[in-house]
């Protein structure tokens, strides 16, 4: 390490520290550097240093939300942030940010390509751990242990997020200096998991219990929650594959029983903190965990500061998830019809099942209550608060056709003839026909200078229940699996019918429960990959809906163009997809075509579902989960090309790239 690097903490870290210092201190110290002796021997300054490390992973409240790369949502303006990943054209070069010489947007979807960011922060974590370990500190013992525990946890958190995206990565515990030669190789996946679990074990010994910890700071329970996620990931089929049983950089050595038992034990530990110790409980309301910073369901969350400076990303990114009502036409996440399809009716049946009670004239009536918390459909009440007070408005997401009736429709078409596709879009902001309601707090004023969101829940109890249910299912404990799925379904304001299935039908229930309960959080993208089900779900088309009011004198009809159960008497073809530029682009890129009728397997039966009435030309490129030879490359993120180059050939790229 050079003399300068040894004597002074890197300037970026120091600038973060300066924000926490008082004016008297700033009057006495240089503004561009602080000596490491000063920082690491002061509990207050060391805590400021550690506070900065909490941002190693950006929260998902971003323009270009990660949900828009899945079958959950769509971001119209995501050409350099979400669409190139969703359409399967991701490469080691285009995942690089513009500031790095690539084409990816610098501030959108920064939660996926984290390689460079994560290792920058891991360097700072290693710097802290190594300095305190080698040189000691004048901090009191309690402060030293707590801060060391937080840094060990954050290093585990960084490495977990790396292996979740890339599989095995280089394990680095040295704070490299400017003169060091970087020639690290990727460690095996299992070695990375063991390293993470080792850091978590150390952190757990050093950290305080929940009751002795400030809100938002890491405590022992947060360690338990991350251990639950790490072991679940390692047990999942993508990394614990019987067809590829040998351990490597790209997957672990196959051990079905051992790895699921380890995951079960980890999940049970955090769940017992709720069910045995009473430290947590499900919130009485589904929206409580994002509207109440003291929700009993929250295990760890990122909390936002209101009245944030509008020039900062933290002030803007959460707002852009909300309705176009507030942001001059900008919108960032609209629910897809594939997402809407999976919300059960209130009686527990899906719309295509016999006895569901689904009414195509009222397609959003009598759904799982979580649908209304999550999605804002046409004609629903959409409340807001502005400078003049609180308002309850009807959400008017529809197209009005004066002088038209159903009789004007040509045979086999779902809309009157038009010469331009643009007529179907009605305006440039909402392309999917409904709004995202989740995360929205109508009683909180929202402007471009104020953050409406209070928090983002990194870990919450409902997820831990479903994690335990998944482990129990894989170990054959079906009663326990059903118990924890039903706990989630029996939230007081949800109260969906209890499930009683077994075998593969029980697995269907578990998959769907995660999809609905954890909708638009941070799980779907990774769930369908770790389960190796992305080739099905990620090839279902991006489909938007349309609500049309046909008015001719006193006669008025409302027509919904939504996903629906298959009816062989209908045309079952999206008529403007057939000759569209989007279709030509898609077929040119993939050599395939999009089928409007999709076969779903559900509870032991097969059902055909028709997207033919929907809008499929909402995006220049449709969704595609590519296959290269025998490999699905998009199961993992590509390591950015600039990082491969910096490693002088020692870093191996992921398969298929």
Output 294 or 430, whichever has higher pLDDT: 294
pLDDT of residue 327: 53
Q: Token pair for residue 51?
A: 């506070």
Domains in the chain and their CATH numbers?
51-291 (1.25.40.390)
Residue 187 has pLDDT above 50, yes or no: yes
Backbone angles phi, psi at 249, to 5 degrees: -60, -35
Is the separation of the CB atoms in 286 and 491 below 8 Å? yes
**CA–CA dist 324, 335 (Å, integer):** 14
**CA–CA dist 265, 271 (Å, integer):** 10
Instruction: Say if strands 597-602 and 435-436 run parallel, antiparallel, or are unpaired.
Output: unpaired
pLDDT of residue 350: 98
Q: Which of 64-68, 222-226, 540-544 has the highest mean pLDDT?
A: 222-226
Q: Token pair for residue 34?
A: 């602080």
Looking up tokens 């300095």, which residue turns up?
131
Q: Token pair for residue 1?
A: 């390490």
Strand runs labelled E in 542-626: 546-552, 555-561, 564-565, 597-602, 605-610
pLDDT of residue 9: 42
pLDDT of residue 29: 43
Give the Cα-Cα-Cα angle 345, 351, 352 (nearest 5 degrees): 150
pLDDT of residue 580: 84
Interval 434-460 mean pLDDT: 80
Interval 311-328 mean pLDDT: 48
Among residues 153, 158, 148, the alpha carbon closest in space to that of 128 is found at 148
Inter-CA distances, 214 with 298, 377, 447, 456, Å: 13, 39, 29, 17
> Other C-beta atoms within 10 Å of 217: how many?
16
pLDDT of residue 440: 83
Output 321 or 461, whichever has higher pLDDT: 461
pLDDT of residue 325: 52
pLDDT of residue 330: 67
Is the separation of the CB atoms in 335 and 345 below 8 Å? no
> Other C-beta atoms within 10 Å of 45: how many?
21
Q: What is the DSSP string of 634-648?
A: GGSPPPPHHHHHHTT
Query: Residue 603 region, left (φ>0) first, then alpha (ψ -120 to 50), else beta?
Result: left
Helix axis angle, 220-235 relative to 461-474, nearest 10°? 40
Upper half-sphere CA count for residue 179 (Cβ side, 13 Å): 6
Residue 21 contacts by C-beta under 8 Å, 6 or more apart in sequence? Answer: 45, 48
Q: Token pair for residue 258?
A: 């051992």
pLDDT of residue 13: 43
pLDDT of residue 361: 92
Residue 398 has pLDDT above 70, yes or no: yes
Of the candidate ranges 409-418, 419-428, 464-473, the one whose mean pLDDT is the lowest: 419-428
Q: What is the DSSP string of 241-303?
A: -TTS-S--SSSPPP-HHHHHHHHHHHHHHHHHHHHTT-S----SSTTHHHH-TT-TTEEEEEE
Of the pLDDT bands very low, low, confident and very high (cuts 50, 70, 90), residue 311 is very low
pLDDT of residue 550: 83
Mean confidence (pLDDT) of the chain: 87
Of the pLDDT bands very low, low, confident and very high (cuts 50, 70, 90), residue 426 is very low
Is the separation of the CB atoms in 345 and 357 below 8 Å? yes
pLDDT of residue 454: 86
Interval 446-452 mean pLDDT: 61
pLDDT of residue 413: 62
Q: Token pair for residue 441?
A: 């707090």
Residue 286 has pLDDT above 90, yes or no: yes
Is the separation of the CB atoms in 167 and 249 below 8 Å? yes
Is the separation of the CB atoms in 273 and 221 below 8 Å? yes
Q: Which helix (H) or strand (E) holds 226?
A: helix 220-235
Of the candidate ranges 20-24, 161-165, 441-445, 545-549, the one whose mean pLDDT is the lowest: 20-24
Interval 193-221 mean pLDDT: 97
Helix%, strand%, coil% for the chain, nearest 5: 40, 10, 50
Of the pLDDT bands very low, low, confident and very high (cuts 50, 70, 90), residue 308 is very low
Is the separation of the CB atoms in 513 and 348 below 8 Å? no
**CA–CA dist 652, 432 (Å, integer):** 40
Give the Cα-Cα-Cα angle 626, 627, 630 (nearest 5 degrees): 165
pLDDT of residue 6: 36
Residue 297 has pLDDT above 50, yes or no: yes
* Local structure of residue 652 (DSSP, 8 states): P
Interval 483-497 mean pLDDT: 98
Interval 281-310 mean pLDDT: 87
Interval 564-580 mean pLDDT: 84
Residue 417 has pLDDT above 60, yes or no: no
- Rounded to two decimals, the pTM is 0.91
**CA–CA dist 210, 404 (Å, integer):** 63
Is the separation of the CB atoms in 238 and 531 below 8 Å? yes
**CA–CA dist 88, 98 (Å, integer):** 20
pLDDT of residue 333: 87
Interval 296-304 mean pLDDT: 94
Output 250 or 383, whichever has higher pLDDT: 250
What digits encode the pLDDT tens for the residues 599-644?
A: 999 999 999 999 988 888 888 889 999 999 999 999 999 999 999 9
What digits encode the pLDDT tens for the residues 46-86?
A: 999 999 999 999 888 887 889 999 999 999 889 999 999 99
Residue 484 has pLDDT above 50, yes or no: yes
pLDDT of residue 12: 38
Upper half-sphere CA count for residue 81 (Cβ side, 13 Å): 21
**CA–CA dist 202, 148 (Å, integer):** 9
Q: Token pair for residue 197?
A: 């679990």
pLDDT more than 90, % of the chain:
66
**CA–CA dist 314, 240 (Å, integer):** 37
Residue 428 has pLDDT above 70, yes or no: no
Among residues 317, 125, 151, 304, the alpha carbon closest in space to that of 215 is found at 304
Interval 137-150 mean pLDDT: 96
- Helical spans, DSSP H, in 324-398: 337-341, 369-374
**CA–CA dist 623, 408 (Å, integer):** 33
Q: What is the DSSP string of 411-461?
A: TT-SS---S-GGGGT-SSS--SSSEE-TT--TTS--BTTB----EEEEEEH
Looking up tokens 């969350």, which residue turns up?
301
Residue 519 has pLDDT above 50, yes or no: yes
Give the Cα-Cα-Cα angle 154, 234, 339 (nearest 5 degrees): 90
Of the candidate ranges 60-74, 212-226, 440-454, the one whose mean pLDDT is the lowest: 440-454
**CA–CA dist 437, 382 (Å, integer):** 9
Q: Which helix (H) or strand (E) holds 233?
A: helix 220-235
Among residues 632, 271, 234, 607, the alpha carbon closest in space to that of 467 is found at 271
Output 455 or 63, whichever has higher pLDDT: 455
């Amino acid at each position: 390490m050079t003399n300068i690097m040894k004597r002074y903490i890197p300037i970026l870290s120091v600038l973060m520290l300066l924000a926490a210092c008082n004016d008297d201190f700033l009057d006495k110290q240089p503004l561009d550097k602080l000596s490491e002796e000063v920082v690491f021997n002061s509990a207050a300054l060391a805590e400021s240093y550690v506070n900065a490390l909490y941002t190693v992973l950006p929260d998902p409240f971003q323009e270009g939300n990660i949900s828009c790369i899945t079958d959950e949502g769509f971001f119209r303006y995501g050409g350099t942030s979400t669409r190139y990943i969703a359409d399967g054209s991701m490469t080691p070069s285009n995942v690089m940010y513009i500031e790095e010489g690539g084409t990816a947007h610098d501030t959108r979807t920064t939660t996926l390509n984290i390689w460079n960011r994560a290792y920058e922060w891991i360097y700072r974590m290693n710097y802290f751990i190594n300095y305190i370990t080698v040189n000691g500190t004048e901090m009191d013992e309690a402060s030293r242990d707590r801060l060391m525990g937080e840094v060990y946890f954050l290093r585990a958190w960084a490495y977990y997020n790396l292996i979740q995206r890339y599989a095995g990565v280089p394990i680095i515990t040295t704070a490299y200096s400017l003169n060091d030669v970087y020639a690290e190789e990727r460690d095996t996946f299992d070695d990375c998991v063991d390293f993470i679990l080792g850091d978590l074990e150390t952190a757990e010994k050093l950290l305080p219990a929940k009751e002795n910890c400030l809100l938002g700071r890491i405590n022992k329970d947060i360690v338990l929650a991350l251990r639950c996620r790490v072991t679940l990931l390692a047990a999942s089929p993508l990394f614990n594959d019987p067809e590829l049983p040998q351990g490597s950089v790209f997957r672990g050595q196959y051990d079905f029983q051992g790895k699921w038992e380890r995951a079960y034990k980890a999940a049970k530990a955090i769940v017992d903190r709720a069910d045995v110790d009473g430290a947590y409980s499900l919130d009485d309301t589904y929206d409580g965990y994002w509207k109440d910073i003291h929700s009993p369901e929250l295990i760890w969350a990122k909390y936002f500061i209101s009245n944030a400076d509008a020039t900062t990303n933290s002030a803007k990114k959460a707002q852009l998830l909300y309705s176009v009502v507030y942001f001059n036409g900008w919108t960032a996440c609209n629910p897809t019809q594939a997402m809407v399809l999976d919300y059960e009716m209130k009686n527990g049946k899906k719309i295509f099942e016999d006895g569901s009670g689904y009414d195509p004239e009222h397609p959003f009536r009598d759904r799982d209550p979580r649908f209304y918390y999550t999605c804002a459909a046409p004609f629903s009440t959409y409340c807001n608060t502005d400078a003049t007070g609180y308002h309850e408005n009807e959400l008017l997401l529809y197209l009005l056709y004066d002088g038209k009736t159903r009789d004007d429709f040509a045979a086999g078409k779902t809309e009157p003839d038009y010469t331009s596709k643009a007529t179907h879009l009605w305006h440039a902001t909402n392309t999917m026909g409904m709004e995202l309601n989740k995360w929205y707090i109508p009683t909180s004023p929202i402007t471009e200078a104020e953050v409406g969101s209070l928090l983002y829940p990194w870990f919450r109890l409902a997820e831990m229940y479903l994690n335990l249910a998944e482990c129990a299912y894989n170990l054959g404990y079906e009663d326990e699996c059903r118990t924890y799925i039903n706990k989630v379904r029996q939230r007081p304001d949800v109260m969906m019918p209890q499930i009683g299935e077994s075998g593969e039908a029980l697995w269907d229930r578990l998959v769907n429960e995660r999809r609905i309960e954890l909708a638009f959080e941070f799980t779907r993208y990774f769930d369908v990959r770790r389960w190796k089900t992305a080739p099905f779900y990620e090839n279902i088309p991006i489909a938007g809906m349309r609500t049309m009011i046909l008015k001719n004198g006193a006669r008025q009809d409302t027509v919904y163009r939504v996903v629906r159960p298959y009816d062989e008497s209908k045309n079952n073809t999206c008529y403007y997809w057939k000759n569209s530029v989007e279709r030509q682009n898609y077929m040119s890129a993939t050599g395939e075509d999009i089928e409007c009728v999709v076969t779903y397997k559900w509870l032991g039966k097969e059902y055909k579902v028709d997207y033919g009435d929907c809008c499929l030309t909402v995006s220049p490129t449709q969704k595609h989960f590519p296959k290269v030879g025998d490999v699905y490359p998009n199961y993992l993120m590509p390591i950015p090309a600039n990082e491969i180059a910096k490693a002088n050939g020692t870093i191996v790229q992921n398969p298929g790239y």
